[in-house]
């Protein structure tokens, strides 16, 4: 009996202990530098993992290696759930490299691409071949992702958004007044057909809430947030669309009332000046953290302590990327009471944000 009890205790402890030997009762979020893709790793207290997007293909598996480095830091040996927000190369392209390095158990996405151009279609078919050998699920607004200890709700997918507000949400959104839709000139310039299919989700852990939007577009934010806010407020806003000016309307960011934002931009991908300006008007926002210095933003960039990667693009073409050995992530660690800490892995700079109403 004593031996059986000891064995039971060991199993229970193993479920809440990381490979670093420390008891874990936190949600850990790694915003990983893939130079413009969204790659973001969520690790539940149980150790179960959810990765949103995989970065670019090529570069000798550069982006997959960066994801693996973050996973190892978190004590993760497999990706339990991979969410591919949409089928653009910077979001799904690294999946094959990653699958060569870490087992991927379940693939979640919006189903099929709407982009029928030859190159994007071929890239999508390669991804389909990959997910065919695993569990695959096409998600829809309102769906949950089952991870013990977390409440993960899909709020947009496949061009549709929530029809019914989440619990506690549904208040009128005054920031919808004067909403200006992006017209054909912007839509044709940025080719957003696949972007607007993006899977977006709210991740809850006790009193803590984070939202990750993929590349959901400005116009698609309107039915999600207007005339009522179907999402509610969040503590952490993982900035839409790498901080591109084609997402992140006031109707979204003002109504979310985030306390902290983390922008997973590249040096010349995302990080648009209008996004910096918009975020500066959010009264609830304590800090903006950046995964990269944003060349286009100039003096609007945060001070260096808040920027994980300082290099600019050195004149390289955006589509070619830049191959570097050194890359740093932004790490968020949240507790059940809604408090959380953000750390820049480049310099160890860290800031704690208390629970709402706390000290």
Q: What is the pLDDT of residues 47-89, one digit of tens each?
A: 999 999 999 998 889 999 999 999 999 999 999 999 999 999 9
| CA neighbor of 277 nearest in space, from 309, 235, 249, 252 | 249
Q: Is residue 239 part of a domain?
A: yes
Q: With contact defined as beta carbons under 8 Å apart, do 86 and 56 qualify?
A: no
Q: Is residue 64 part of a domain?
A: yes
Average pLDDT for residues 185-208, to the nearest whole number?
84
Phi-psi region of 116 (alpha: psi -120 to 50; beta: other; left: phi over 0): alpha
What pLDDT does residue 318 have? 44
Q: Is residue 358 part of a domain?
A: no
How confident is the model over 122-137, as pLDDT tens digits?
999 999 999 998 999 9
- Domain span at residue 21 reads 2-353
Q: With contact defined as beta carbons under 8 Å apart, do 108 and 139 qualify?
A: yes
What pLDDT does residue 188 have? 55
Q: Is residue 264 part of a domain?
A: yes
Task: Indicate the number of domains in the chain.
Answer: 1
CATH of the domain at 258: 3.60.15.10
Q: Is residue 359 part of a domain?
A: no
The pairs formed by 180-187 with CB atoms below 8 angstroms and a separation of 24 or more are: 181/218, 181/219, 181/222, 182/217, 182/218, 182/219, 182/246, 186/246, 187/219
Q: Is residue 156 part of a domain?
A: yes
Q: What is the pLDDT confidence band of residue 21, given thresholds at 50, 70 and 90?
A: very low
Q: Is residue 233 part of a domain?
A: yes
Output the 3-class SS for 40-108.
EEEECCCCCEEEECCCCCCHHHHHHHHHHHHHHHHCCCCEEEEECCCCCHHHHCCHHHHHHHCCEEEEE
Phi/psi for 318 (5° steps) reads: -55, -40
């Amino acid at each position: 009996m004593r031996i059986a009890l000891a064995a039971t205790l060991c199993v229970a402890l193993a479920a809440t202990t990381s490979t670093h030997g420390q008891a874990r009762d936190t949600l850990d979020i790694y915003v990983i530098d893939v130079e413009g893709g969204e790659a973001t790793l969520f690790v539940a207290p149980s150790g179960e993992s959810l990765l949103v997007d995989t970065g670019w293909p090529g570069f000798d598996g550069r982006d997959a290696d960066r994801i693996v480095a973050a996973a190892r830091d978190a004590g993760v040996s497999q990706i339990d759930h991979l969410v591919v927000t949409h089928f653009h190369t910077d979001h799904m392209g690294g999946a094959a490299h990653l699958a060569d390095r870490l087992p991927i158990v379940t693939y979640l996405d919006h189903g099929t691409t709407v982009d029928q151009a030859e190159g994007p279609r071929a890239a999508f078919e390669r991804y389909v071949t990959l997910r065919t050998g695993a569990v695959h699920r096409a998600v829809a607004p309102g769906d949950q992702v089952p991870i013990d200890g977390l409440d993960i709700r899909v709020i947009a997918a496949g061009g549709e958004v929530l029809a019914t507000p989440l619990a506690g949400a549904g208040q009128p959104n005054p920031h919808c007044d004067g909403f200006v839709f992006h017209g054909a000139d912007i839509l044709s310039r940025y080719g957003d057909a696949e972007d607007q299919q993006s899977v977006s989700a709210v991740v809850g852990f006790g009193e803590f809430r984070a939202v990750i939007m993929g590349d959901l577009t400005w116009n698609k934010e309107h039915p999600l947030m207007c005339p009522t806010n179907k999402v509610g407020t969040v503590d952490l806003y993982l900035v839409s669309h790498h901080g591109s000016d084609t997402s992140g309307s006031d109707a979204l960011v003002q109504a979310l009332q985030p306390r902290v934002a983390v922008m997973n931009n590249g040096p010349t991908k995302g990080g648009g000046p209008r996004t910096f300006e918009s975020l500066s008007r959010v009264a609830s926002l304590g800090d903006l953290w950046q995964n990269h210095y944003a060349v286009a933003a100039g003096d609007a960039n945060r001070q260096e302590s808040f920027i994980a990667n300082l290099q600019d693009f050195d004149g390289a073409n955006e589509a070619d990327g830049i191959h570097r050995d050194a890359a740093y992530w932004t790490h968020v660690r949240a507790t059940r009471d809604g408090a959380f800490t953000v750390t820049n892995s480049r310099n160890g700079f860290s800031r704690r944000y208390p629970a709402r109403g706390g000290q």
